[in-house]
Structure 1
Amino acid sequence: MDERAVAEASVESVFREERGRLLASLVRRFGDLDLAEEVASEAIEAALVHWPVEGVPARPGAWLLTTARRRAVDRLRRDQAYAARLAVLQVEADRAGPVPSPDADSDLPDERLQLFFTCAHPALPAEDRTALTLRCLAGLTTPEVARAFLVPSATVAQRIVRAKRKIREARIPFRVPGADELPERLPGVLQVLYSIFTEGYAASSGPQLQRLDLAEEAIRLARILRRLLPAEREVAGLLGLLLLIHARRDARTGPEGEFVLLGDQDRDRWDRAMIEEGRALVLVALTGGPPGVYGVQAAIAALHDEAVDVATTDWPQVVALYDVLLALAPSPVVALNRAAAVAMRDGPEAGLTLLDELAGEPRLRGYHPYPAARAELLHRLGRYSEAAAAYRKALDLVGTEPERAHLRRRLREVDPSGPDSTPDAPPGQ
């Protein structure tokens, strides 16, 4: 590999690892996300010019930060409209004290926590928060964010611009909330990360069941947040939940990308090291105070991961944990998951009764797991015509091709001759 290729690889590696920290430091100093992004990009371009000639510096992150700061100051000085603003920023910076120097273990002062809370501020709409977090903290480009959620790039660009404008016009502070604000603000940050992971773990639409890069990015961000807020038990709970679910990733699809149900997965393919890390985090999340939403969900995931198979899963304990979760965060989706667990504990009739009680929930009308769950229980009870109708309803709503193929296979089992069916299996086979 030639020197330029080595330098480009070094820039990419450094920028991938340090982008959030670089951006956070620049925003703290200059108070403008757009300006921070622009000068960070200019610093990368400068690195591609200088590093092949001068060599990669010993502390590349600090080099990028210094270069970006100089570019920002030069730009502000050239622009008359920013002259007064630069003076105000300097006064504020002097009042706040010097920017922390890089310590022995890192190239950049770590101010990503402020950026987490700025990107996930409750004043921003949920979709804007997610887009901004992926752009600023995960480092995804606008087209990459658009591909992740299967929306046009223009839509994502509009969301990001809107979020930045809101931050600027509403003067949303770039800071970590005080101790009195943290309980109210932290759940929003955690929800953004969970939403990113959910789209990666179970894609809403498209040719693939999973988007592993998106799920892994959410885990990477959750690890950062865990390091930055080590005393927050719900942060530990979220990271534990993500790890315990992601540990099954390799077994969730077959050789051709087909969907594999939990009960049919080869558990030898589950990532045991990840499971053990997740279980340790569950203990942290559930120790020292009342349980939180993510800690309880992580405990449920741990019970699934610890079992030898579906039959030996501790279903009474799973149901009990869903009872706790319903008390903490009541929602029809939690009630749906609890009904499925009750069906495993008490039989399909008991689960179906609970599902039927949710039939009027408007939030489940477009949620394909609801008719799919009903179809499975009706299938187990031998009520094939009703199961077929429920499978067809789920097919109308499902987004990914692997799940669609799975539902078609199940439909053929209960109605070999019906629409979306081919006569290759008798009912119940």
Structure 2
Amino acid sequence: MKRKRFTEEQIIAVLKEHEAGAKTADLARKHGISEATLYNWKAKFGGMDVSEAKRLKALEDENAKLKKLLAEQMLDAAALRELLFKKMVGPAAKRAAAAHLQAKLGLSERRACSIIGADRTTVRYRSRRPSDAELRVRLRELANERRRFGYRRLFILLRREGERSGINRIHRLYREEGLRVRKRRARRKAIGMRAPIPVEAKPNARWSLDFVSDQFANGRRFRILNIVDDVTKECLGAIPDTSISGRRVARELTAIVAWRGKPGSIVSDNGTEFTCNAMLAWCQDNSIAWHFIAPGKPIQNAFVESFNGRMRDELLNETLFFGIAEARSKIAAWVADYNGERPHSSLKYQTPAAYAATFTATGDRLRNPDQLRRSPVAPPAPIGVKPTRTLNAAG
């Protein structure tokens, strides 16, 4: 027999009869309930009126709904955690994700599709495309035979064998099999003069560039871009940094040209910082000839190599750098001392700044007895040292 459902008003009325003096057995028999049910009603609704009972029922219903919502949210969070490291891009991946949620958490298809944001027709779809296992095998065989062929050339070879698939299908299978042609990035080779470069004895006739490296106290390495005037032996720039790109070299050269003037030519090795597109464009924009030394011939860039040796011997090997800011300040101080205070043996022990001051604004040497007795390019060798022939062309 179907159990009768009592409303709050009916339950309160029965309890009122019990409070009025009616016996429990008589009330249970009269309303067709058990004595245990009557006692449960009394424990739950005893002392209440109809409005309070309705309010209690509403609270219970709301609490049940909140529990259901919380359980659903916790289930959704668990489902999302299951899919945390799964890529759901494309119908096939979404079908696999829905199947995983149904098998792992026991979710329905509708619930799984709502979580992953997929249409149920997409999940239910089953491909009727014929198997392409043989085509995949043949495509991989051809790719192994012709390693430098891309999918377009492989498509032509397959067509010659009678395969009727279109190029789009071949491209899809090509990507799914992980096939690709590896690009061989050849090192850029600089185009420049290999013959000796004549040097005119005046400032800005030729600059030389090169890098020298050192490390901080913590072991991290940094580089210094040195720029030297080959005639006056002045250091025009010593830029330290942890990384110096071609664009940075172009920017530093632009700043030096702004206060120093444009050089007749620049000499450097074949480093990637000097052969990049940024430097080639900078040379073209400023109409400056850039000469690259022969590979493995640092003697062709001897002026800046000599300067690097002096810097390493007098500064880098004698100083401990704790950071890039300290390196910049100490290197700048050393360069100022090198240009203005340190006597240079090839300039008859003049400083580079003093030697540069002997030139006029047009680049001509000042004419006085002291200057006439000095060689503008190479001084005589000290006593006891075999003299070498003065070079008219350097590089």
**Could you state the TM-score of these two structures normalised by the residue count of structure 2?**
0.20
Q: Kindly indicate which of the two structures has a greater share of residues assigned to helix.
A: 1
Q: Kindly indicate which of the two structures has a greater share of residues assigned to strand.
A: 2
**Could you state the TM-score of these two structures normalised by the residue count of structure 1?**
0.19
- Greater C-alpha Rg: 2
Higher relative contact order (CA 8 A, sep 6+): 2
